[in-house]
Structure 1
Amino acid sequence: MKTRAITGFFFIIVMIGSFLLGYQVFSAFYLLLSCFGLYEFYSLIKKDTASPNIIAGIISAVLLYSGIALLNYAGAFAAPAFNIHSAAYILLFLFVFGISLVFIMELFKISVAPFANIAFTIMGLVFVVVPFTFFHALAYINKDFSPHIPLGFLLMLWANDTGAYLVGMSMGRTKLFERHSPKKTWEGFIGGVVISAGVGYIISLYFPELDWKQWVSVGILISCFGTLGDLVESMFKRSINIKDSGTILPGHGGLLDRFDGLLMAAPIVYTYLYFVVNF
């Protein structure tokens, strides 16, 4: 418990620092997290039956994330937008080549299941990296860079996890999805939704980028789809018979364990806010 508390404290400090040190640090930090998360995913798959192409996958991840990040910059920093757009399109073109490289390299490997290797390589990008690009894009939902929305996202995600745990432990009776997560209950899920929505309202008092109804709506979406992400990751771990996705965070497991809720919630929240803010 002591190790878990110390790790959690420093983890939160680093996360908050990534928001406060400017858009360059913010972008670089979540690029690193997405690459480490992707490596963790590939390492877990290699323990099972497939052999994803780690090098080609991570190169493709860097190109995809960086290309989309530059498109966000182009919308926020109008003066050099043409050059930024050009660089973004070059990176995204190279990303397409990187995906082709996955197929090409598999041709030269001796493997009993080449398409399983290809599928898991690409699935890692979809499952891990794409959600992080959506999360990064939350900072630019109003065009100008603002770390408040992604920071609020994480605060509500943590509030949901904490609320669901505390309510589930104290009054949880009805299993939510016992086959994949025996400890989760409907009572805990509802408690997480209520607490996350409440934190959303509190955030609206300090972060004016969205009004209170939008913040509360985002909190509810995070609770619903964050819980779904948690269940999906539990299903994934049970399918390969492991307890934690890694050991990079002592007492907490791996990066995928810490960001499983983000993987499903970030694309949904971005889509919701994109239409709410722009239409």
Structure 2
Amino acid sequence: MSKHKRRKTRISAVHYNEYDDDPRKQYLAEVKAKKARRRRHLLISCIIIGLIVVYFVSPVSKIQSIQVKGLVNLKADEVKASIQKETSGYYLFTSTKNIENKLKKHALIKKCHVSKTIAGGLRIEIQEAKPVAYAIFQNKTYVIDELAHVEEVSDVNFIKKLESTPRLMSFDSLEHIQTFADQYIQLPYILRNSISDVIFSPKAADPTSIRFVMDNGKQLIVRLNDISKVLSQKKFDYEAYMTEYSDACIFSFEGDSIYITNCQ
């Protein structure tokens, strides 16, 4: 009689899940989990929005301070007043580049750099432009700087400093003063340094005639729009002419010609 061996039956491990027998419960659990995540995200979003709103309605969102460095003739209050529009908004949205561009149009400012500070303020570093002349127009004083900026000034001490530079007189408009400034800054330094007064003296034949009164008493007469051309070092060597024509008093420029009149 043959013996049969019993086969051992391998029983695989079965993990029981309470939702395996009911897909609806599994679906509801997933929906519940999604709703919980959405609520968390919504809560976090609300907190962030709330913090943003609180920040922008509080004074902290504005520019806290403005520091101005490098001033010689300018006043810090004048600089701040000139950029009031650009600095009246929110600190985060304030453009330092826009402020720099605005300041570069200001008289007596040659270069400037604007940066933001950690404390919510602005730091402005300025290199001033040199004043090269000043004008009296309608009982007001205007400074002309080395970049041809023309701007009214009222500070008594600064006006006193300007008296060491050439003075413009009898000009009939600010437009002509600005045109003069654009021409004047192109002149050789030695010539500019020898000028005492600049007088707007129109004639019937030349309504924009300019008379330069030099420190030595001699006079140069030239049309307003021709100043930089006819008084350039190439066209008119001032020192050479003063040496060669030491007895002359008036040098009148008409086109490419120079008419020289001796002193009476």
- With the shorter chain as reference, the TM-score category is under 0.3
Compare CA radii of gyration and give the structure with the larger one.
Answer: 2
Query: Using CA pairs below 8 Å that are at least 6 residues apart, which structure has the higher relative contact order?
Result: 1
Structure with a larger share of its residues in strand? 2
Calculate the TM-score normalised by the size of structure 2. Answer: 0.20
Calculate the TM-score normalised by the size of structure 1. Answer: 0.20
